[in-house]
Structures are given as structure tokens and as C-alpha cells.
Structure 1
Amino acid sequence: MPFARAVVAAACLLGAAAGPAFATEPAPATAYALPETETWDLASDDGQPYRILVSRPAGEAPDGGFPILYVLDGNAMFAAFAEARRIQGLGSSGLDKMIVVGIGYPGGQVYDPRRMSDFTAPIETPVLKALYASAGGRDRFETFLLEKLKPAVEKRYPVNPYRQTLYGHSLGGLFALHMLYTRPGAFRTIIAASPSIWWDNQAILAEERAWRTRVEQGAAPTRGTRLLLIAGEREEEGAIAEDTAALGRRLAALSGQGLRSDLLILDGETHLSVPHRSVTAALRAAARWP
């Protein structure tokens, strides 16, 4: 080949071999932001800060407003719920036509230590008192949720006051059951995933018994209330799967008083894998009407 062409060919070969040495610097990376989401902070009356994470559909709200799903442990759960809601817009299920509100905490921890206080009552079992000194702030968190967060959300977004759902997992699931038993009407649908019924020597059972008595006497309104219980087949922590299934059997008897309850046992799932596997079922439960 002519000398000039040979020089060009050799240069190309050498350049290919030594390419990385001459490559430009990669563009700086930036944080990924979930589409159709926004975040803002809200403090409780005693100054405890919460990070509020919101996923909302584009477009106008339906008549009466959007259904709304409140998700506890927002740092850990929100992203899965937000993207699952958004992707449903590619189909015709209508599951994207709701607002998801994750209740989280400032900072990057997946499970913030403050959840121990927020989701539990004062401990009665002596050995647990020593282990979990921060537990017992449930009443304060309940006040924040019902009297501060919900009104703030309803001022910002067009939500349907009759189509509101609360989702909690583990200790969050225990808190969700507490809301069912003690605050009827606060949420139309309660989703308790892997509820820690074992906590504090099963102290939640006393609340259940008192609530069942009121329901059977007609003193606790349940008509139209929905409950979805979820557990993983392989959950061994505190016999969670067994406790959840037993609760489902007990509450099935209340269908005559208008409680609509369902039990979902997820095959092969463990305590930490239940939340993401439960997302679609939770969205369906939140969207169900009437």
C-alpha cells in the first residue's frame, strides 16, 4: 500500500489499542430522580421531622379526587410503590390513578431508628423494656399522622376522603392493625404486611379482643372497611406467617358485621422480601371500590 495510507492505518491500529489512554473524562454522574414524584418535610408538634415522599399521576383528578395510599417506612418502601404505580399507566388497570404518600425520615437510612418509637406502644414486658428503651411513641406518631400529615396532604392534592389506605410492614404492620382496632374510619383500607403480632408478648391481642367485642355489639363501625393481611411463607421471625394466618381466620368471622378481610400468603418469601412482592396487591387493594 502507499506509504501515506500505511501510516494512517498504523495510527488507527495503535489508537484502537491505546484508546482508553486518549479517551475523554466521563461526564459527572448525578442523582436519579423518580418521575412524577416530589418530596417535602413536615415536623410533628414536638419538632420531630418527617420526610414526605409523594408519587402522583399526571393529569386531572377524577370526580371526588384521587384514592390515596399512605406507606409507612417511606425510606425503604416508597420507590417500589412509586414506580409500580407509574408503570401501570402503560396498561388499562387504572392502578396509576392514585396518589402514594411515603412517610419517611430525613437522611439515607433504609430503616430509621425512630420507627421503633413511632410504631410501638409503651412496652409491658420487662426484658423488652431494657432492650428497646426508645419504644413507646405510638400515640405521638398517630397524632402526627391523623391531625397534621393528612390535613397537609389534603390541602396540597385533590384526594378522595373516602378512599384512603394505610400500608405498614413488620412493626409498621403492627401499627396498621392498631389503627384498625382503635381509629375506625380513619382509613377505609388497612394493609398489614408481616405484622409483628408477636411484639411485647402479643400485647396487640388485647386491642383485637376489645375491638371485636365492640364490633359484635355494634359499637365499632366496620361496614365497608377492608383489611388485607400479607405474610411470607418463609417468615420465621416471631412465627409471623402463623400469627398472620390465624388472625385472618379469626377476622373472617366478622364478615357479617361488614368487615371485608383477605389473607395473602406469599410463597417462598421471607420477612425482608415481602414488601416488594406485596406492592401490586397493595395497589389493587387501595384502588378497589366500593
Structure 2
Amino acid sequence: MRLKPVSLLLALCCLFNQAQAASAPVPYALPDTEVRDIRAQALQRDYQLFVALPDSYREGARRYPVVFVVDADYSFAVVRNLAQRLARHAGMEEVIVVGLSYAKGDGGVYSRRRDYTPTTPRKHDYRSDMPGRQPAFGEAPAYAKFISGEVFPLIASQYRANMGRKIFVGHSYGSLLGLQIMLTEPRTFEHYILGSPSLWYDAGVMFDREQAYASSHKDLPASVFFGIGGLERLPAGKKRSRSEEDADMVADLKEFNQKLTSHKFAGLSTRVRVFDDEDHASVFPLVLTHGLRAYLKSK
């Protein structure tokens, strides 16, 4: 049977579309990774957990330290790949990596400002990256409870995780969240890797939090690795202040660590590393690598 011109054209279009579909590129997927949806009941928001399993996970029954990293939309692949490379080529312990995503439906800036900051800043001119919604702040205490109360039980029930060896990884605002946890419930994690903490936030509110903690505690059971880029300093000629525009983040971090160690808290161990020639955007992989080495064992 001969096809009519219109029928022939439709048949050719169908074949063309099939050929295109067959040759269309597919998304790249990281091996041995999983994505789990999770509802934050108290927050009434939905998140995702990105989970990466170590090479030897399928081979036995051992349990692994767990690295929990915030800002996962950016950081998860970095942490997963560096942790895997250190285990394969530098003899470091293998780990499970858990990335905590931004809230579903929220912009990344909106989500992290709200979930990672300890307070609503007393003065600010921030604009929202979500049209029709005012910027939100100060929900780090509630978000920390979500991590310990809902994320931890899920990971403990679904994976061979050594929940007695949990590592927190944060950078910038993410490090504010880490400090919020460390200065309220320090035993939430066994090791903290905190890069370039935004200690200028809300006129230096974390300095106040540290002083308040010291006034009522003699111990601070926490292992902490602080890292920052050497270029995160205030330009010459500018006067340092507790504001984002005039912050010297290197000086802030050194001052904060000095205050922490001056109290001689029982159980506290800190290290500070300044990475020359790195800035706020470039320093994270170095902070992560050295922070993992400060806690994980090598063969």
C-alpha cells in the first residue's frame, strides 16, 4: 500500500523523533548514590537527603562514619568525590556522605538564609530571591532539631551508619548553623568542619553566643576544624567592623577561636588553618580535605 503524502510526512517525522530520542544525551549520575525525600514535620517543609555509599559498602557488615553536609545542592558532589578519592588513594577511612538539600520549592538563597542563620539580623537590607516573599532568617535552632530528630533516625534505620562518629560540614552560613549546634547541643556531632564562618552576621551575634555559653559551662565536648581563605581579609585602609561590608573574616575567625580556647573548656579541641591565596569561593575543597584528615583515621 502506498502512503499518501501527509501519511508519509507523519511517518518520517515519527522516525526522526525516535532517532533523536535514541541519541539524546542522558543525565550523568554518581554511582552508589541515592536520593530520599523527607518531611520536616515541625517545620512543615519538604527536603531531600542525598546519600553516597562507600566502595566497600556492599561487601560486609561494618558500619561507617557519617559526613553530614549542608548546602548539598553545591557541596554533596564535592564531598562525595573528595572523600572517595581520599579513601581510594590516601588510605583514609571510608564514610557515608549525607547531603542536606534546600527546602523543596524554595530558592537556595532563601532556604539557606532561613535555615542556617541563628537570628533575624537587627539591621539589614537583604532582598528575597523569591518574588512575593520577604526574606526569612533565624530558624537555625529549629532546623538543627530537624537534623537530630528526623534526619538522624532515618539514616540510622536505613544504612549501616556509625552514629557515634558523625561529622558536620558547613561553609559560610552553613558554618553559622554548625556553631549554633556546637554552642547549644555540642554532642550532636563528634567532629565539626567549619569553613569561612560568617561571624560578622547580625553584628557578631555568635561572639555573644559564645560568651553566654562560657558563662554557664565548664566543658564543651567538641572537635572542631576551622578553615578559611587567606584572601578573606579586609582590604588595606578599611576599618574593620562587625558588618558584612567591613568584615575581616580571617581576623574574626582567629578572634573567635582565641575566645573559645581562652576558657579552657574540658573536651574542646580546635584547629585553625588559613589557606593562602584562596578566597571565599575557592577554599571549600581545601577546608574539607584537611578537616576530614583531622578526624578520620588512615590505614
Which range, TM-score by smaller chain?
Answer: 0.7 to 0.9
Instruction: Please identify the structure whose Cα radius of gyration is greater.
Output: 1
Note if contact 1:125-1:200 (Cα within 8 Å) is conserved in structure 2.
yes
CA distance in 2, matches of 1:180, 1:157: 25
Q: Does 1:91 align with 2:89?
A: yes
Q: Distance in 2 between matches of 1:212 and 1:281?
A: 28
Where does residue 282 of structure 2 map in the other structure?
273
Decide which of 172, 186, 189 is 2:188's aligned counterpart: 186
- Whether 1:117 aligns to 2:119 is no
* Equivalence map 1:9-28=2 (5 Å): 27-28=23-24
Q: How many residues align?
A: 260
d(CA) in 1 for partners of 2:209, 2:106: 31
**How high is the TM-score relative to the length of structure 2?**
0.78
Question: How far 1:85 sits from its partner (Å)?
Answer: 1.5
Cα distance, 1:121 vs structure 2: 2.7
The unaligned stretches of length 5 or more in structure 1 are 1-23
Contact kept in structure 2, 1:164 and 1:286, CA below 8 Å: no
State the partner residue of 1:33: 29
- State whether residues 75 and 110 of structure 1, in contact with CA within 8 Å, keep that contact through their aligned partners in structure 2: no
Once the two structures are superposed, the pairs formed by residues 123-138 of structure 1 within 5 Å of their partners are: 123-127=120-124, 133-138=135-140
1:81 aligns with 2:79: yes
Measured at CA, do residues 112 and 56 of structure 1 come closer, stay the same or move farther in structure 2, by a change above 3 Å? Answer: farther
Deviation of 1:156 after TM superposition, in Å, equals: 1.0
Letter paired with 1:50: Y
- The residue type equivalent to 2:67 in the other structure is L
The structural deviation recorded for 1:43 is 1.5
Structure 2 match to 1:205: 207
Q: 2-side partners of 1:192 and 1:120: how far apart?
A: 14
- The DSSP-based 3-state class of the residue aligned with 2:162 is strand
Shift of 1:142: 1.4
My pick for the range that moved more, 45-54 or 101-110, is: 101-110
Structure 2 vs 1, CA of residues 34 and 112 (structure 1 numbering), >3 Å: closer, same or farther? farther
List alignment gaps of at least 5 residues for structure 2.
Answer: 1-18, 129-133, 234-243
Which deviations, in whole Å up to 9, do the C-alpha atoms of 1:160-212 show, x marking residues without a partner? 22211111111111111111111121111112111011000111111101222
Identity %: 24
Q: Is the 8 A contact 1:163 1:286 kept in 2?
A: no
In structure 1, how many angstroms separate the alpha carbons of the residues matched to 2:272 and 2:61?
A: 31
- Out of 67, 70, 83, the residue aligned to residue 68 of structure 2 is 70
User: What SS does the aligned partner of 1:32 have?
Assistant: coil
Structure 1 residue 87 displacement after superposition = 2.0
1:56 and 2:65 matched: no
Q: Distance in 1 between matches of 2:113 and 2:121?
A: 15
Matched to 1:155, the amino acid is: S
Report how far residue 117 of structure 1 moved: 0.4
Are 2:245 and 1:239 equivalent residues in the alignment? no
Question: What is the rounded CA distance, in whole Å, between the counterparts of 1:143 and 1:78 in structure 2?
Answer: 21
Corresponding residue SS for 1:259: strand
- Whether the 8 Å CA contact 2:68–2:168 is kept in 1: the answer is yes
User: How far apart in 1 are the matches of 2:211 and 2:149?
Assistant: 27
Distance in 2 of aligned mates of 1:34 and 1:48: 26
Which residue of 168, 171, 174 maps to 2:173? Answer: 171
Are residues 288 and 211 of structure 1, via their aligned partners in 2, closer, same or farther at CA, if it must alter by over 3 Å? farther
Preserved CA contact (<8 Å) 1:76 1:110 = no
Matched residue SS, 2:55: coil
Describe the shift of the 1:226–1:89 C-alpha distance in structure 2 as closer, same or farther (beyond 3 A). Answer: closer
Residue 76 of structure 1 contacts residue 111 of structure 1 at CA under 8 Å; is this kept in 2? no
